[in-house]
């Protein structure tokens, strides 16, 4: 059992939101030219890592001559926080229900709980030109939001629109030292994923059996109390109303 006695579930929703976010930027390329002639096409690598970790890896090889050195440009992204969004709150008891393939089991979830997921995308480059080549491939798609449709919970065939909002773009030049110091120009893009989390229940048939068994034990306990007749009457009314929600 999980929180407050509810059945345990894990549909990897937060993980899926992060994967969807990273997938957007996984195919960015830059072209290098000499005298107008294209000499190189490079796919910009993307990884999930914190900014400080990436900068440490870049700084560990100032001569850029080790095989393990990070070759710029490169991008990384990370989750920055999760915030409740009360402006999108729906009635808590509303349920979303779907049946299985045999139509004999009804799965349901309660109204989605609105949370916003803050993400950061970092672009590391050695020169301004590479940075603007990458940034110009990203910004035009966000006005300031961009929405994609994804099936998030296959068991319920739940297809969701996922708006991703670009909040801010900032620029940083980490070069500070002599000419032997390796330079890294960093673009930071702040995003917000407008999304929800779900609270799921047992299939209605299973839940009904569980509630009936629990109700019998609880009624037996109430019958042993002082003033049990009044308590049993109140319990019967409340239990009937509660069971009608299943």
Q: How far apart are the first and last CA of the chain?
A: 19
Residue ranges in the chain assigned as alpha helix (H): 13-24, 51-59, 128-138, 204-223, 228-243
CB 42 within 8 A of CB 97: no
Q: What are phi and psi of 164, to 5 degrees?
A: -120, 120
Count each helix (H run) and each strand (E run) in the chain, helices first: 5, 10
- For residues 183 and 145, the model is more confident at 145
Is pLDDT of 42 > 70?
yes
Q: What is the pTM of this model?
A: 0.70
CA angle 174–176–180, rounded 5-degree value: 110
Q: Is the pLDDT of residue 176 over 70?
A: no
Average pLDDT taken over every residue of the chain: 75
Tell me the backbone φ, ψ of residue 154, rounded to 5 degrees.
-60, -35
- Answer yes or no: is pLDDT of 182 > 60: no
| Residue 59 pLDDT | 67
136, 195 Cβ separation under 8 angstroms:
no
| Model confidence pLDDT, tens digit, residues 130-157 | 999 999 999 999 999 999 888 877 766 7
Across 36-40, 70-74, 110-114, 181-185, least confident range: 181-185
> What average pLDDT does the segment 193-214 reach?
56
Q: What string of H, E and C letters represents the secondary structure of 145-182?
A: EEEEEEEEEHHHCEEEEEEEEEEEEEEEECCCCCCCCC
CB 116 within 8 A of CB 194: yes
Q: Are 131 and 123 in contact, with CB atoms under 8 Å apart?
A: yes
pLDDT of residue 212: 47
Indicate the SS3 state at residue 197: strand
Q: What percent of the chain has pLDDT over 90?
A: 30
């Amino acid at each position: 059992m999980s929180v407050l006695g509810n059945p345990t579930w894990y549909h990897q929703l937060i993980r899926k939101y992060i994967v969807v976010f990273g997938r957007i930027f996984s195919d960015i390329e830059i072209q290098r030219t000499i005298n107008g002639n294209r000499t190189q096409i490079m796919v910009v690598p993307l990884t999930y890592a914190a900014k400080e970790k990436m900068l440490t890896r870049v700084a560990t090889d100032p001569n850029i001559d080790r095989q393990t050195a990070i070759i710029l440009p490169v991008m990384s992204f990370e989750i920055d926080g999760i915030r409740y969004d009360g402006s999108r709150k729906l009635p808590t008891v509303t349920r979303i229900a779907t049946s299985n393939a045999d139509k004999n089991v009804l799965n349901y979830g309660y109204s989605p709980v609105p949370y916003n997921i803050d993400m950061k995308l970092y672009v590391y480059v050695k020169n301004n030109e590479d940075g603007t080549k990458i940034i110009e491939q990203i910004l035009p798609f966000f006005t300031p939001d961009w929405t994609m449709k994804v099936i998030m919970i296959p068991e319920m065939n739940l297809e969701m629109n996922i708006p991703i909002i670009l909040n801010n773009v900032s620029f940083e030049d980490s070069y500070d030292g002599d000419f032997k110091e390796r330079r890294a120009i960093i673009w930071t893009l702040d995003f917000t994923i407008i999304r929800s989390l779900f609270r799921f229940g047992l299939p209605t048939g299973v839940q009904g059996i569980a509630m009936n068994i629990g109700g019998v034990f609880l009624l037996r306990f109430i019958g042993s109390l002082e003033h049990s007749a009044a308590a049993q009457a109140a319990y019967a009314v409340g239990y009937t109303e509660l069971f009608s929600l299943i």
